Amino acid sequence: MGNYTFYKDNREFIKALESYGELVTIQQEVDWDLEMGAIVRRVCEKRLAAPYFKKIKDYPGFEALGAPLATYTRLAIAMGLNPKTSIPEISDEYVRRTTGNPIPPVLVERKNAPCKDNILTGKDADLFKLPGPMVHDGDGGRYLATWHFVVAKDPDTGTINWGMYRQMVFDERTMVGPVLPFSDMGKMFYGKYVPKNKPMPFATVIGCDPLSGIAACAPSPIPEDQFTGMLMGKPVELVKCETCDLEVPAHAEIIIEGEVIPNVWIEEAPFGEYTGYRTSPREPRTVYRIKAITYRNHPILTVSNMGVPTDEGQLLRSFSLGLEMRKLLESQGIPITGVYMLPESTHHMVVVGVRPAYSNIATQIANLVFGSKLSPWFHMVIVVDEETDIYNKDDVIHALATKCHPIRGIRKYEHSVGTPLYPFADPDDRKWSRGAQVLFDCTFPLDWPKSDLPIKVSFNKVYPKEVQEKVLKNWKTYGFKD
C-alpha cells in the first residue's frame, strides 16, 4: 500500500480546495432552478475555482459544491499532489498507483458512517426533499445525479460496479436515465437481471470523496471499490445499505437506495451532455425506483454541468480513458511514448505518441484501441511520432496538418459501436448506438529515403546547441521580457 495524501470525504476536499485558492464560497442564496447550473457552467467555461454554495433556495440546511474536479489543478489536489503538477506527472502517478495489486475496501459500522446521520424510508424517501438542480434550461427534468456514481452488483460473480449514469428525477420515488447496453452496468442489468425479470438493487452515491469519483469514471477492469483503494493507498471505507445487499462509501454526503426495474421504461432527456450539445433524443430509458435516502447532517450535493469544455466528466473521462489505453498498448509491447486524450475533444480524440519502429504501427495502435471495451466512447485516434509533444495542442495540430496524408494517412473504420450522444451521428445511428471511427496517421512512411524526409524547422531543431545556448543566455539583454 502507498503512503499518499488523500481526502476521506467531500468536506476535507473542500477545505483543501480552499487552502489552495481553488474554491469560491458563495454565501448569497442561489436558486436550484437554473441559477446554480448557470454559475457552474460559467465556471467550467472560464476554468475558474469551484463554487461552494452555502444557501440553496427552498432547501435550508443543504449546500452544494459545483465543478469539483473540472481542472487538472483540482485533479492534482484530489490526488494529494502539488496543484502545479504537470499533466504528464499526474498521469504517471495515476498509472503507477493503479498498476499494482488492487486494495479491497473495508466495512465500517453504521455508527462510524456519517452517511447514516439521517435515514428516510417509505413515503419519507422523497426525491424532492433533495435540492436536485435544473441544470440547463430545456432539460427534461431535474438531474439530482450529475457528479455521483451508481453502485450495482453482478448477481453471478458478486463483482461490484461503480459507474456514472446520469439520473433525472421523474417523481417522488422515481428516477430515470440512460444505461447503455455496452456499459458495465448495462451488461449486468440487461444481460442478467432483465432476462429473469428481476429488479436490480442499486445505490446512488452523491458527494463522495474525490478519489472514489475518479475511480467511478475510470474504465478499468478492476472493480472501482478496489481501484479507489489503489488511488488512496489504503482501503476505502464502506458501509452496508439500509435496504439491499450493497455497500457504499461511509463518508459520502447522500445515498439513494432502490431497485432498477426491468421491462419498464420512462421518457428521459433531453439533457445538456458532455459533448457540448443536447443530442440524445428524449426516449424511454431505464427506470430506478427508490426505497431509501440517507444523508449526512448539512449535506453537500455535488453538481457537475455538462456542456462545452471543460467539465469534470470531459476531463476525468479523457484522463482515465487515455491512461487505460496507455496500459493496454504498453501491455502489448507497442513502443509508445505516451497517450493523451484531449478533454477539449469531449473525450472523442486521443493522441498517441510512438516511435515508428515498423511500418503500419499506427494501424496496429488503432486496431487495438478500437477493438477494446474502451472503444464506444471515442472515435478519433491521432498517431504522432516522438518529435511531437502529445500534450501540446499546437504541436498536435501542426503534425496533423502537415504529416497526415489526406488519403493514405486517414483510415476509416465502419460499423463500430457508438453512443446516442454523438452529435455527428444520424438520428437512426444514435438510436441504435452505431458509430464510426477514424485514424489519422501522422508518422512519415519508413520507406522514404532519409534525404527525402522533411526536417522540422523549430528553434530546438535547426540551430546548433551553442547558438541556442547563446541566444537563450542573452535573451533578456536583447530586450525581451521572457
> 12, 18, 33, 395: which one contacts other proteins (CB under 8 A)?
33
When asked if residue 137 is in the footprint of other proteins (CB under 8 A), the reply is yes
Question: What DSSP character marks residue 93?
Answer: H
Q: Name the minimum Å distance from CB 171 to other proteins.
A: 6
Q: Segment near other proteins (CB under 8 A), from 89-97, 140-148, 234-242, 303-311?
A: 140-148
Q: Name the minimum Å distance from CB 129 to other proteins.
A: 7
When asked if residue 426 is in the footprint of other proteins (CB under 8 A), the reply is no
> 262, 270, 276, 335: which one contacts other proteins (CB under 8 A)?
270
Contact 166, 296 (CB under 8 A): no
> 11, 278, 285, 379: which one contacts other proteins (CB under 8 A)?
278
Q: Segment near other proteins (CB under 8 A), from 12-20, 169-177, 236-244, 296-304?
A: 169-177
Closest to 374 measured CA to CA, from 437, 455, 283:
437
Binding mask of the shown chain, residues 287 to 306, with x at each position contacting other proteins by CB under 8 A? --x-----------------
CA angle 231, 233, 239 (to 5 degrees): 85
> Distance between CA 127 and CA 254 in Å, rounded?
11
Q: Segment near other proteins (CB under 8 A), from 227-235, 263-271, 338-346, 352-360?
A: 263-271
Residue 228: cis peptide before it, omega within 30 degrees of 0: no
When asked if residue 315 is in the footprint of other proteins (CB under 8 A), the reply is no
Question: What DSSP character marks residue 115?
Answer: G
Q: Name the minimum Å distance from CB 83 to other proteins.
A: 37
Nearer to other proteins, 267 or 387 (CB): 267
CA angle 349, 205, 285 (to 5 degrees): 65
Nearer to other proteins, 333 or 427 (CB): 427
Alpha-helical runs (H) found in 82-161: 87-97
Query: 375: which 3 cell numbers?
Result: 472503444
Q: What are the angstrom distances between the C-alpha of 75 and each of 69, 215, 350, 451?
A: 6, 12, 19, 45
In the chain, what is the greatest distance between 2 CA atoms, to the nearest angstrom?
78
Q: Segment near other proteins (CB under 8 A), from 81-89, 163-171, 238-246, 442-450?
A: 163-171
Closest to 74 measured CA to CA, from 252, 311, 233, 267:
311
When asked if residue 129 is in the footprint of other proteins (CB under 8 A), the reply is yes
**Residue 286: strand pairing partners:** 177, 265
> 17, 77, 135, 169: which one contacts other proteins (CB under 8 A)?
169
**Residue 144: strand pairing partners:** none
Count of alpha carbons within 13 Å of 187, Cβ hemisphere only? 11
Q: Name the minimum Å distance from CB 261 to other proteins.
A: 8
Per-position DSSP letters for 359-406, written without gaps between them: TTHHHHHHHHHHTSTTGGG--EEEEEETTS-TT-HHHHHHHHHHHS-T
When asked if residue 141 is in the footprint of other proteins (CB under 8 A), the reply is yes
Nearer to other proteins, 128 or 391 (CB): 128
Nearer to other proteins, 278 or 317 (CB): 278
Q: Name the minimum Å distance from CB 323 to other proteins.
A: 33
Nearer to other proteins, 224 or 257 (CB): 257
Q: Name the minimum Å distance from CB 278 to other proteins.
A: 5
Closest to 205 measured CA to CA, from 224, 233, 220, 191:
224
Q: Segment near other proteins (CB under 8 A), from 115-123, 164-172, 221-229, 430-438?
A: 164-172
> 58, 124, 426, 469: which one contacts other proteins (CB under 8 A)?
58
Q: Segment near other proteins (CB under 8 A), from 132-140, 144-152, 199-207, 234-242?
A: 132-140
When asked if residue 140 is in the footprint of other proteins (CB under 8 A), the reply is yes
Query: 315: which 3 cell numbers?
Result: 476531463
Q: Name the minimum Å distance from CB 292 to other proteins.
A: 17
Question: What DSSP character marks residue 67?
Answer: S
Q: What are the angstrom distances between the C-alpha of 174 and each of 128, 194, 242, 256?
A: 10, 18, 18, 11
Instruction: For the chain, report the end-to-end CA distance as a whole number of angstroms.
Output: 43
- The values of phi and psi at residue 350, to 5°, are -120, 140
Report CA 209 to chain centroid distance, whole Å.
15
When asked if residue 59 is in the footprint of other proteins (CB under 8 A), the reply is yes
- Judged by the rule CB under 8 A, the positions of this chain that interact with other proteins are 33, 58-59, 128-129, 134, 136-142, 169-172, 174, 264, 266-267, 270, 278-279, 281-283, 289
